[in-house]
Amino acid sequence: MKKFGVAACAGVVLFCGVLSAQQTQPAKPCPPEGFSGGFSHGCPQKQFANPSDISAMMAALPDKPMATPQSLRHVLVLCTARGWVHTSIPLAAKMVEYLGDKTGAWMTTITYDPAAINAENLKQYDAIFLDSTTGQFLDDPNNQTVTQERRQALLDFVNGGKGLVGIHAATDSYHTSPRPAAPGEEPTTAPTGTWPEFNQMIGGFFKFHWPYPTLIQVKIDDPNSPLTSMFPARGYVIVDETYTFAQNSFSRKRVHVLTSVNYKKMSAEDKAKEPAATRRTDGDYALSYIQRVGNGRVFYEAHGHEENVYFRRPFVAHMLAGIQYALGDLKADDSPSEK
């Protein structure tokens, strides 16, 4: 697993499982220009994808939309990362842009400035795409009024009938960090949310991920949904950094689950890599889901860490479907998975 801020590979499994975007890291050398396949902390945010990655991603783009747009749609991609900074962020942004261009489903604006999230500016958009945003990505640390205005603008945007899409680290936002454990010990506390309205709107918050590379078997929870029509009904396998959610932050009583970790098929060895303090007691590890929030629509996909994930045709088609659902153009059953 390529990480900056981790001293030795032998310590990656536990270290990665307990740290979050909000936890301060020791200073480490920043990655060189062109580095990909991981993330950094406290380093300048990369804003340009590697040309070879863009070419591979473009080869995976569908030729047409999943549904005919009801009107000219506009999507705002927000790339602000205040904690861990994923190198895949600029590639994911380009995926959204080129998906819209090639299929004609929407037009795209990409920004790394959270100031774009304000009531006036958002009037021109139909959906916001949170591109592995981490930490308190909307907040202005020097102006609480501005912070509250941005937060309210996002909530009003979705509740008022617009769309929100999150990928990968969009759920590693607005939560505390577990108490750091002593060497050789597991953490004794799980994270808690710090912005409940957002935590519920995005569907949950990060608590752990299996170390990369771990082969994950994915289960299709709703094979009848147009958002999973690109996957075989039997499921599929993926090697990526797989995010999971804190026990009390995610619930099928609130969201409609599309895909999840096939936890029953996971080896005992891989299950044991997750610290007991953060392990879900229900074995329910959702990966992608949709939900209604007020009059708006939300789609989230937990994978998207590694650049090569964006080279997979089914994954890119899944993102197209999710964005079109959030825009209101692709109709799908979004009732909670558990009544």
> What are residue 308's phi and psi, to 5 degrees?
-65, -15
User: Quick one: pLDDT at residue 7?
Assistant: 28
Asked if 183 contacts 282 with a C-beta cutoff of 8 angstroms, the reply is: no
User: Quick one: pLDDT at residue 15?
Assistant: 25
User: Quick one: pLDDT at residue 278?
Assistant: 79
Asked if 307 contacts 36 with a C-beta cutoff of 8 angstroms, the reply is: yes
pLDDT in tens, 134-173: 999 999 999 999 999 999 999 999 999 999 999 999 999 9
User: Quick one: pLDDT at residue 190?
Assistant: 72
User: Quick one: pLDDT at residue 186?
Assistant: 55
d(CA 31, CA 45): 10
Chunked into runs of 10 residues, the chain (339 residues) has average pLDDT values of 31 29 51 71 88 97 98 98 94 98 98 98 98 97 97 98 98 81 59 93 92 93 98 97 91 97 95 87 95 98 96 98 99 95
Alpha-carbon 183 to chain mean position: 30
Q: Residue 80, CB half-sphere, CA atoms under 13 Å: how many?
A: 17
d(CA 145, CA 167): 28
For residue 223, cis peptide bond before it (omega within 30 degrees of 0): no
Residue by residue, DSSP assigns 160-220 as TT-EEEEEGGGGSSSB--PPPPPTT---S----BS-HHHHHHHT--EEEEPPSSEEEEEEE
Q: Which domains does the chain have, with CATH numbers?
A: 51-205+288-327 (3.40.50)
